[in-house]
Amino acid sequence: MARLRAADAQRRVASGQGPDFLEAFARGLRVIGAFGRERTQMTLSDVARAIDLPKPSVRRALYTLVCLGYAESDGRTFRLTPKIMELASAYLGSNMISAVIQPACERLSEKTEQSCFAAVLDGHDIVMIAHSLHGRPDVLAPTIGLRRPAFNTAAGRVLLSQLPDAALDAWLQKLEPKVMTSFTVIDKKTLRAEILHVREQDYATTAQEMRRGFHAVAVPLRRHDGATLAALSVAVWVEDAANGSAADRYLAALLEEAATLKPQLL
């Protein structure tokens, strides 16, 4: 059995991972995660640099992915195949998303005449799990699995507001906020205060923090026992909310849909 690099062994100890942690499997997942919209195809060296793993480990992971049909290669570069979607099908095809949340996004989109999406928190990002486009698709150009920063999005702040204070402080401590527009809030004390305000009012709005001209309002999606599972958000252009804030125009519809969904979310 191959031995861990000293750095990897130290990382495992620091993270608290026990003896049952399967390092080879974890490395394979990191190789998959190296690919994305900006890196659709890469050489072995590209992947190794992207995730800071030894080339032999990356080579074995890529070879295995190719053998299983999850990746393909022209002999020099590698790319993922559509079969990789099978890894997400169990989650995206779950009853909660396919039968409950996706139809809710479609109803909201039709009611508000705006694009709508649902997202969950994953590290320092939100990840879209359902969406419905309306009108101008360039508002979000969303796709299932699309990631956006959590700190400057309405959906992200809703989800962060549900964290206990200690967890929120730890999250903020590791955050490295980046300016995306002239409206982006990057001061951590200001962000914390805004997130606590969101917790108090139970909804969030953002105005041009992620993209100029882009506003959003979001509410938590809670299941029957009160636990927050996701955030439901409507995305609008600034002129669509010209006669009032996004909350003024779309909050009532979001709250109504969230209340309707609550007994259905298990």
Check whether residue 31 and residue 112 sit in a common domain: no
User: How far apart, in whole angstroms, are the C-alpha atoms of residue 40 and residue 80?
Assistant: 8
Check whether residue 141 and residue 79 sit in a common domain: no
Please indicate, yes or no, if residue 255 is contained in any of the structural domains. yes
Mean pLDDT value across the chain? 86
Last residue of a domain, one of 85, 115, 140: 85
Check whether residue 15 and residue 39 sit in a common domain: yes
Last residue of a domain, one of 64, 85, 106: 85
CB proximity list for 155: less than 8 A, separation 6 or greater:
117, 119, 126, 148, 204, 216, 218, 231, 232, 233
Q: Which DSSP string do the residues of 200-255 spell out, in sequence order?
A: HHT-EEEESSSSTTEEEEEEEEE-TTS-EEEEEEEEEEGGGGTTS-HHHHHHHHHH
Taking residues 170-179, what's their average pLDDT?
95
Last residue of a domain, one of 59, 85, 111: 85
Burial of 75 by CB count in 10 Å (0-12 exposed, 13-18 middle, 19+ buried)?
exposed
* pLDDT of the residue at 209: 93
Please indicate, yes or no, if residue 115 is contained in any of the structural domains. yes
Taking residues 214-228, what's their average pLDDT?
91
Q: Is the pLDDT of residue 4 over 70?
A: no
Check whether residue 80 and residue 97 sit in a common domain: no
Q: Is the pLDDT of residue 207 over 50?
A: yes
Check whether residue 21 and residue 115 sit in a common domain: no
Domain that holds residue 149: 93-264
Please indicate, yes or no, if residue 39 is contained in any of the structural domains. yes
Residues, the chain, total?
Answer: 266
Question: Which one is predicted more confidently, 257 or 100?
Answer: 257
Check whether residue 239 and residue 115 sit in a common domain: yes
Please indicate, yes or no, if residue 35 is contained in any of the structural domains. yes
Check whether residue 235 and residue 104 sit in a common domain: yes
pTM of the model: 0.73
> Residues 220, 226, 231, CA angle at the centre, nearest 5°?
15
Please give the structure tokens belonging to residue 45.
């060296």
User: How far apart, in whole angstroms, are the C-alpha atoms of residue 222 and residue 82?
Assistant: 32
Question: Which one is predicted more confidently, 140 or 66?
Answer: 66
Taking residues 162-175, what's their average pLDDT?
96
Question: Which one is predicted more confidently, 15 or 180?
Answer: 180
Bridge partners, 73 (sequence order)? 78
Phi first, then psi, for residue 205 (nearest 5°) are -130, 150
Check whether residue 169 and residue 197 sit in a common domain: yes
CATH code at position 101: 3.30.450.40
Please give the structure tokens belonging to residue 232.
């439901």
Please list, residue by residue across 164-186, b when 16 or more beta carbons sit within 10 angstroms of its beta carbon and e when fewer do: eeeebeebbeebebeebeeebee
> What's the number of domains the chain is made of?
2
The answer to whether the Cα torsion of 60, 66, 72, 73 is positive or negative is positive
Check whether residue 118 and residue 230 sit in a common domain: yes
pLDDT digit string, tens, across residues 61-97:
999 999 999 999 999 999 999 888 778 766 666 657 7
CATH code at position 76: 1.10.10.10
